[in-house]
Chains A and B, each alone.
Chain A
Amino acid sequence: MDQPNLLPLVRSKLYYLSLKPDSRYCTVLRNKFSHTLTLFFLCTYVEQWSTFFTDLFILIRPAESSSQPTYNRHISLLFFHIVLEISGEVADNMIKSARTYNAVRNTRDARVRDAVRERDAARINEAVLTIVADGTEKMSRLRKNGGSSESERELDGVVEVVDWGIRTFGSYVGMSMVRCCVFMLMLGFFRLDRHQLDRHSDNRATVVYLII
Chain B
Amino acid sequence: MTVTPTTVPLLFTLLSDTSLPIRLATSLALLRIVSKGLKEPEDKLQLIKVLSLGQVIDALETTTRTQRSAGSSEIDEGEESYREALGRLLNVLGLELAKLADVCLHVSFDSSFELTLYQENANEKISSEASGMLTHILPVMLQFMADEYDDTCSTIFPLLSNLLSGVSTPLIARGLVLILSIVQTQSEDIV
Contacts and interface: CB of A to CB of B under 8 A. Distances in A.
A182 interface: yes
Interface string A177-190: 01101101111111
Given A174-B35, A203-B62, A133 B29 contact: no
Contact of A197 (B12, B22, B26): B12
Interface centre among B3, B9, B26, B56 (most CB of A within 10 A): B3
A138 to B, nearest CB: 13
A196 B12 CA distance: 7
Contacts of B25: 163, 166-167, 170
Given A173-B33, A197-B12, A203-B62, A126 B5 contact: no
Given A197-B16, A199-B16, A129 B29 contact: no
B38 interface: yes
A83 to B, nearest CB: 13
Interface in B47-95: 47, 50-52, 55-56, 58-60, 62-63, 66-67
B59 A198 contact: yes
Given A166-B25, A208-B55, A193 B9 contact: yes
A206 B58 contact: yes
B4 interface: yes
A140 to B, nearest CB: 9
A64 B11 CA distance: 30
B3 A206 contact: no
Interface residues of B, number: 44
Interface string B6-27: 1111101110111101100110
Given A130-B1, A186-B50, A210-B50, A199 B7 contact: no
A159 B6 contact: no
Given A166-B29, A178-B36, A191 B10 contact: no
Given A170-B28, A193-B9, A210-B8, A199 B18 contact: yes
Nearest to A205: B59
A166 B7 CA distance: 12
Contacts of B66: 203
Interface of B: 1-10, 12-14, 16-19, 21-22, 25-26, 28-29, 32-33, 35-38, 43, 46-47, 50-52, 55-56, 58-60, 62-63, 66-67
Given A130-B2, A166-B22, A178-B38, 20 more contacts: A123-B1, A129-B10, A130-B1, A130-B4, A159-B21, A163-B22, A166-B14, A170-B32, A173-B32, A174-B35, A178-B33, A182-B33, A185-B8, A188-B5, A192-B8, A192-B12, A196-B13, A198-B16, A198-B63, A204-B62
Interface of A: 57, 61, 123, 125-127, 129-130, 132-133, 136, 139, 143, 159, 162-163, 166-167, 169-170, 173-175, 178-179, 181-182, 184-193, 196-200, 203-206, 208, 210, 212
10 contacts: A132-B14, A163-B22, A167-B25, A169-B29, A178-B33, A181-B33, A182-B43, A185-B47, A190-B7, A196-B16
